[in-house]
Amino acid sequence: MKVTLSVIKADIGGYVGHSSSHPDILVLARESLEKAKKQGLLIDYHVTACGDDLQLIMTHQQGELNERIHRLAWDTLKAGTELAKKLKLYGAGQDLLADAFSGNVKGMGPGVAEMEIEERPSEPVIIFMADKTAAGAWNLPLYKMFADPFNTIGLVIAPNMHTGFTFEVHDVKGHKKMSFNCPEEIYDMLIFLGAPGRFAVKHVYSRQNNEIAAVSSTERLSFLAGRYVGKDDPVCVVRCQGTFPAVGEVLEPFAHSFIVEGWMRGSHHGPLMPVAVREANPSRFDGPPRVICLGFQLSDGKLIGPRDMFDDPAFDEARRQANQIAYNLRQHGPFEPHRLPLDEMEYTTMPQIMKRLEGRMTEL
Ligand code: F6R
Ligand code: MG
Ligand code: MG
């Protein structure tokens, strides 16, 4: 059976500040998706939040970029925005950049990750959702899952994974894409993946059967809007087991905290902290950036779950590491490399300061 899994997300208002989501907004979103399920448009859904981002996880048979599904998401986010305005939540509707819906939500502000699959006899899927960071944050973990045998032993000893994976990489500034076959092209690929502010993995495919293995949201809100409107706070869907990495291999990259762009004012480097859903409320210096992870078994499109995959003491060490890194980086205050380089910062006062001090700047 062909099933489409669509994750559409947006920050439509923070509670309090940018730290979390108000429970009433989640209730509203559930009611909206429940109605669509009753009408037969959705097979199933799950609504959650990571920090100030509302996450609509939906299954259906309408395919990717489907107008009815995207309109449902858009209308839900719009209705949520109205409620956010009533509650005077912070930044109500901040990610909804367009006024009117036009076919699908791509380029309108929300993040989208969708995959249409032929559901296997057993179909475990993992959905990662992050707050206070950008789409390139998935580059390192996706590389480890699908190309690094020190993370994924299946690449070495599982015959159906030994052929490797193909990565589709997007240049989010240049609006171009390129594919790399791994393992033979990893050195070429890493020059791009190692620059996550510009290049982001959009899709990963199995070279065994060309099946989709992973998809992420790669929208860059700041490029869409032409000004700072918040970090993308991306999502990523990964299929597991069989020809794909095992669930444990998919989670393993998060056993260490690694450093991503985002955090306070989208203008800092900070550790990505894997947490249970109840702990995804970034508050310290608006962070540190969080990632949550829900696991589902698909059953004829029904979402059996979720399991809160980072709600496991085995990730305590990664959380501790993240706090250590956070303490260390915070000591740098406004200095790089904690603060992003000038051209990467989402907020800057540089042009105004340069203009004011123009006359005082002399030749060396
Ligand atoms: C980062 C983020 C927050 C805000 C910060 C300032 O992605 O959402 O760190 O940038 O709280 O917010 P404003 O400019 O809305 O007052
Ligand atoms: Mg916000
Ligand atoms: Mg956010």
Pocket of ligand 1 (CB under 6 A): 17-18, 91, 132, 230-231, 262, 264-266, 286
> Of 159, 304, 134, nearest to 242 (Cα)?
159
**pLDDT, position 174:** 83
**pLDDT, position 124:** 98
Ligand nearest to the CA of 94: 2
Q: Ligand 3 (ion): which residues have CB within 5 A?
A: 11, 51-53, 131, 233
CA of 265 to the centre of ligand 1 (A): 5
Q: How many CB atoms lie within 10 A of CB 259?
A: 21
Q: Which two three-digit tokens encode residue 324?
A: 């250590």
SS3 category, 184: coil
CA of 117 to the centre of ligand 3 (A): 28
Nearest-atom index, ligand 1, CA of 11: 8
| Percent helix, percent strand, percent coil in the chain, to nearest 5 | 30, 30, 40
Q: What is the DSSP letter of 284?
A: B
**pLDDT, position 82:** 98
Tokens 């200095």, residue?
A: 335
SS3 category, 278: helix
**pLDDT, position 130:** 98
CA of 262 to the centre of ligand 2 (A): 12
Rounded distance between C-alpha atoms, residue 334 and residue 326, angstroms: 14
Angle 160-183-292 from CA coordinates, rounded to 5°: 75
**pLDDT, position 351:** 84
> Of 67, 69, 64, 52, nearest to 13 (Cα)?
52
Measuring from atom 15 of ligand 1, which residue has the nearest CA? 91
Ligand nearest to the CA of 228: 1
CB 164 within 8 A of CB 193: no
Nearest-atom index, ligand 1, CA of 263: 1
Which residues are designated catalytic?
11, 228, 231
Ligand nearest to the CA of 347: 1
Measuring from atom 13 of ligand 1, which residue has the nearest CA? 265
pTM over 0.85: yes
Q: What is the DSSP letter of 340?
A: P
The single-letter code of the amino acid at 38 is K
Range list of β-strands (E), 11-87: 44-50, 53-60
**pLDDT, position 225:** 75
CB 132 within 8 A of CB 284: no
**pLDDT, position 344:** 80
CA of 363 to the centre of ligand 3 (A): 43
Domains and CATH numbers, the chain: 1-118 (3.30.70), 120-355 (no CATH)
Rounded distance between C-alpha atoms, residue 164 and residue 245, angstroms: 11
**pLDDT, position 36:** 98
Range list of β-strands (E), 196-284: 199-206, 212-216, 235-239, 259-262, 268-271, 273-274
Rounded distance between C-alpha atoms, residue 18 and residue 49, angstroms: 12
- Phi-psi map region of 224: left, alpha, beta (phi>0 left; psi -120 to 50 alpha): alpha
**pLDDT, position 246:** 98
CA of 320 to the centre of ligand 2 (A): 25
Low-confidence ranges of the chain (pLDDT < 70): 228, 230
**pLDDT, position 233:** 96
> Of 186, 140, 147, nearest to 164 (Cα)?
147
> Of 134, 124, 204, nearest to 164 (Cα)?
204
